[in-house]
Amino acid sequence: MAVKIRLKRVGAKKNPHYRIVVAHPSKPRDGEAIETLGSYHPREAKDTLVFSNPDRALYWLLVGAQPTETARSLLRKAGIWAKFAELRDQRKKGHASAAPAE
């Protein structure tokens, strides 16, 4: 089973802050995470979205981590999803050209 890129809720009651984490799908929402990729603060003036290391988020996507819908939208907002799609398409073209011609 693939790991998930999802949000982990932290912060006070009625003042949510989220961490964008990589976690095993069977773990609880606020449970143990494999790695923290960034943070998201939706209640600030401008939705504050910070990826501490965007290359790690890209790495996890390339090895098969499945983002939740919300995490995917945040990855799009940060521009990481576009890089992932580009690299994924390059890999597909590379594998197709490596196939033997009949």
Q: Give a yes or no: residue 44 inside a domain.
A: yes
Residue 69 located in a structural domain: yes
- The reply to whether 101 falls in a domain is no
Total structural domains within the chain: 1
User: Does 18 map to a domain?
Assistant: yes
- pLDDT tens string 14-63: 999 999 999 999 888 888 899 999 999 988 877 688 888 889 999 999 99
For residue 91, the enclosing domain spans 4-96
Tell me if 66 is assigned to some domain: yes
Report residue 100's pLDDT band, with 50, 70 and 90 as the boundaries. very low
Whether 11 maps to a domain, the answer reads yes
CATH number at residue 50: 3.30.1320.10
Q: Confirm whether 55 is domain-assigned.
A: yes
pTM listed for this prediction: 0.81
The dihedral region occupied by 79, where left means phi > 0, alpha psi between -120 and 50, and beta the remainder, is: left
Distance CA(15)–CA(32), nearest Å, equals 21
> For residue 50, what are the β-bridge partners?
39
Are 29 and 18 a contacting pair, CB within 8 Å? no
Which candidate, 60, 58, 53, places its Cα nearest to that of 3?
60
